[in-house]
A and B are shown apart, each in its own frame.
Chain A
């Protein structure tokens, strides 16, 4: 480091009484600017050190997730492959009846899309909004592939009357812009009516709102259960002599290190109707052979298996906090006349809160996004919203819908995180 940039040099200079007005370095530059420059250099070096990590996170995490989330509001399946009719929609405001120019544009686009074999993409996009129209596009596409004669309106209507449906034209208008909120509407059990207004879907189609509620309710319940089960264990671990507590610790960590699938399938073996627990109950005569309990492939199965799998995430932060609690506080409280319950409630428990907060947040956030366990043991009543996301990713291949659901889930978790921060304070967390 050169003298000019060394702040100590400046101090020495001023101390020597050479400069009078403001502080400068040996070569006469203002001290504050020299300091800023030297700090800037240090900061730049620090930044260079974290640059690889930053690039890694950006490339492997932010960009893919961003691209995926972009699909939730950006779907150019229609607008890209049907440019002429999209242009017509852009020129004519909502409410304009399609004129012959519109029909001509539609016919030209259909012909082009059929020849380029993109008509399926177009149909799929409209089918999301108006079920049952995919084949209208593909079948019409097959017929117009060789070209189509004017008048286009009559020609298209002759192929299929459904082309005159106002609902279809509304859906095409909406889809003519690559940006849409329809997937978010669908994720909230909403749809657009024929006039474009937003309304609830019929009750027998509603599913996502209820699943979001169930996901959050079950996650809360599981967080509560892990607390009830984990708190005494963590306390025991923290207060037993080292040798015994290490042994117990292994019992906590062993399942933690075991594959998730192995643990979930073990629960299947234990809980199923012809499984170990039912066999024992029948053998002991508690229940008859025909009254075997249904403990899996329903909500009960999801709750039991997820509570077990997430338990270590509650125990470990609690344990690390409890280890640091000085036992003399409780002793002091007892010697001052507190009952053991009061001493626990007023002195011990409040000190475990940072660990409890960390554990609860970990368990809750993990539970909200849980997928494999409910898929395997949840049956139909134990499915969570993540199973719906997976279904749209792998079965219906409607990635825009999956992205919209995932974005809503992410937003809900962020809101909860914010509420938690306001109520408890993130700084109080102690993760271990």
Chain B
């Protein structure tokens, strides 16, 4: 389905590009869904108003895939791509991306230069972060009478909290959770995962719930699985759960213990069709106000320190956003931050091992 969808997305994108007039425009490839809507509302509309440059939004399951394909085929059609940190680093090292000088980014309203205003790790040679997002556990409150689960360890406790679990079908966002649930402190996760015993320990913990796991691949699936009653607990992207809870009034509750934090980065590929417009868009979308505005539409944390103070209410006008932000200090004690270097080295190896573990009955 993923491939079909991507082909469809690509062909639609090509169609759009083919018919587009010569007027100034910029093609932004992002993740679709509620996230895309938040970007359209917070970035694209004011950008077009301010500059007259039209923004074409293109959805992909993971924008790094079409980026790599376009660069390989030497036919780049997207100008700005929204990718994960590990992909940004990898693509930058492979020479697929334009280097971005942080000095061109607008300073904070109080004059703090962008280099200091962005949170550590949010600026890279070829990429500028826009938001933090978390992979968190959510459960269906109607399924647990009496005591409700509250920790990552509860996710693995089938006796106390019986029922199916939803987990993503990749090693990156499953192995760490198993270790956290097994009592490994958040700051020792990557040391553990780098060692044979640590990996074995993670798989052993996963073994305890393997028979009761429904595996998901696309971000919309865990929410759907919970809503269908197919699972009682699932991990998923905090923005999507927020959307289901606040936007659709679903009886879900989020467990912030053991969240996995990622950054999303804007990158510009080499030989993009509208390089100047791409830079303009990137500068505009990552300024203090725009990043704060995005939180009105989705529960992802802005990558600038100066944006935090401007984050207010959700678009419904009554929900306070701060308790829903993955960057809320209360949730950071057991949060595991994505380590792109680790995953660049070990992703292939651990993915192979994970698949082997999955396929064995």
Is B182 interfacial (CB-CB < 8 Å)?
no
Q: Is the CB of A297 within 8 A of B356?
A: no
Q: Indicate whether A390 sits within 8 Å of B2 (C-beta atoms), given known contacts A121-B95, A396-B347.
A: yes
A73 to chain B, nearest CB (A): 17
Question: Would you call A417 an interface residue if the criterion is a C-beta within 8 Å of the partner chain's C-beta atoms?
Answer: no
* B228 located at the interface, meaning its Cβ lies under 8 Å from any Cβ of chain A in the complex: yes
A394 pairs with B62, CB closer than 8 A: yes
B3 touches A381 (CB 8 A): no
Tell yes or no: B353 within 8 A of A by CB: yes
Asked if B348 contacts A138 (CB within 8 A), the reply is: no
- On whether the beta carbons of B345 and A133 are closer than 8 Å, the reply is yes
Q: A118-B94, A272-B228 are in contact. Are A138 and B2 (CB under 8 A)?
A: no
CB distance B230 to A397 under 8 Å? no
CA A123 to CA B93, docked complex, whole Å: 9
CA distance in complex: A257, B94 (Å): 44
Query: By the criterion CB–CB under 8 Å, are B214 and A124 in contact?
Result: no
Q: Is the CB of B94 within 8 A of A120?
A: yes
Provide the bound-state CA to CA distance between A272 and B3, in Å.
24
A134 to B346, CA, bound (A): 9
Q: Evaluate whether A297 and B214 lie within 8 angstroms (CB atoms) in the complex, with A138-B344, A205-B353, A383-B359 already known.
A: yes
Interface flag for B349 (CB, 8 Å) = yes
Chain A residues with Cβ below 8 Å from B93 are: 117, 119-121, 123, 138, 141
- With the chains together, A117 CA to B97 CA distance in Å? 9
Q: Which of B92, B95, B355 contacts A116 (CB 8 A)?
A: B95
Interface residues of A in 373-429 (CB under 8 A from B): 375-376, 379-381, 383, 388, 390-391, 393-399
Instruction: Name the interface size band of chain B.
Output: 35 or more
CB distance from A357 to the nearest CB of B (A): 31
Q: Which residues of B contact A121 (CB under 8 A)?
A: 93-95
Task: Tell me what chain B mostly uses at the interface: helix, strand, loop, or mixed.
Answer: helix
Residue B348 contacts which of A128, A214, A383 (CB distance < 8 angstroms)?
A128
B351, A131: Cβ atoms closer than 8 Å: no
Min C-beta distance of A1 to chain B, whole Å: 48
Complexed CA–CA distance, A124 and B343 (Å): 12
Contact indicator B215/A297 (Cβ below 8 Å): yes
A300 sits at the interface (CB 8 A): no
**When A205-B356, A390-B2 are in contact, do A396 and B344 touch as well, CB less than 8 Å?**
no
Interface size on A, residues (CB 8 A): 48
**CB atoms of B2 and A394 under 8 A apart:** yes
Binary contact track B320-361/A, C-beta < 8 Å → 1, others 0: 000000000000000000000100111111011101111111
From 236 to 267 in chain B, residues with beta carbon under 8 angstroms from any chain A beta carbon are: none
Question: Is A206 positioned at the interface, with any CB of B under 8 Å from its CB?
Answer: yes
Q: Are A211 and B346 in contact (CB under 8 A)?
A: no
Kindly supply a per-residue 1/0 record for chain A positions 3-22, scoring 1 wherever the CB is within 8 Å of any chain B CB and 0 otherwise: 00000000000000000000
Considering only residues 158-212 of chain A, those with a C-beta below 8 Å from chain B are 204-207, 210-211
CB pair A375 B2 closer than 8 Å: yes
A132-B345, A397-B65 given as contacts; is B359 within 8 A of A380 (CB)?
Answer: yes
The yes or no answer to B170 lying at the interface (CB within 8 A) is yes
Q: From known contacts A117-B95, A205-B352, infer whether A397 and B345 are also in contact, taking CB-CB under 8 Å.
A: no
Counted as pairs of residues, one from A and one from B, with CB atoms less than 8 Å apart, the total is 114
Bound: A50/B268 CA distance, A: 45
- Complex contact B170–A135 (CB within 8 A): no
B6 contacts the other chain (CB 8 A): yes
- B352 in complex: contacting residue of A119, A139, A207, A376, CB < 8 Å: A207
Choose one: B89, B164, B352, B359; the contact of A210 (CB below 8 Å).
B359
Query: Quick check: A381 and B361 within 8 Å, CB to CB?
Result: yes
| Chain A, residue nearest B361 (CB) | A381
Kindly list chain A residues whose C-beta atoms are within 8 Å of the C-beta of B169.
Answer: 380
With contacts A138-B344, A204-B356 taken as known, whether A273 is within 8 angstroms of B164 at the C-beta atoms is yes
Return chain A residues, CB-CB under 8 Å to B230: 272-274
Interface residues of A in 125-150 (CB under 8 A from B): 127-128, 131-135, 138-139, 141
A117 and B92 form a contact (CB under 8 A): yes
Contacts of B72 in A (CB 8 A): 399
Nearest-CB residue, chain B, relative to A397: B68
Is B52 on the interface with A (CB-CB < 8 A)?
no
User: Is A371 in the interface zone, CB < 8 Å from B?
Assistant: yes
Task: Determine how close the nearest CB of chain A comes to the CB of B12; give it in whole angstroms.
Answer: 17
Bound-complex Cα distance A397 to B93 (A): 15
A120 to B228, Cβ gap below 8 A? no
In the complex the two chains form, is B1's CB within 8 Å of A127's CB? no
B95:A207 contact, CB within 8 angstroms: no
Q: How many Å from the CB of A109 to the closest CB on chain B?
A: 15
B348 engages A396 (CB within 8 Å): yes
B229 at the interface (CB under 8 A from A): yes
User: A51 an interface residue at 8 Å Cβ cutoff?
Assistant: no
Considering the complex of A and B, which 6 residue pairs feature the smallest CB-CB distances, nearest first?
A: A120-B93, A131-B349, A117-B95, A207-B356, A120-B94, A380-B358
Chain B residues with CB under 8 Å of chain A are 1-4, 6, 61-62, 64-65, 68, 72, 89-95, 164, 169-170, 203, 213-215, 217, 228-230, 341, 344-349, 351-353, 355-361
A interface, CB within 8 angstroms of B: 116-121, 123-124, 127-128, 131-135, 138-139, 141, 204-207, 210-211, 214, 261, 272-274, 297, 371-372, 375-376, 379-381, 383, 388, 390-391, 393-399
6 contacts between A and B (CB under 8 A): A127-B344, A205-B356, A206-B356, A211-B359, A395-B351, A399-B72
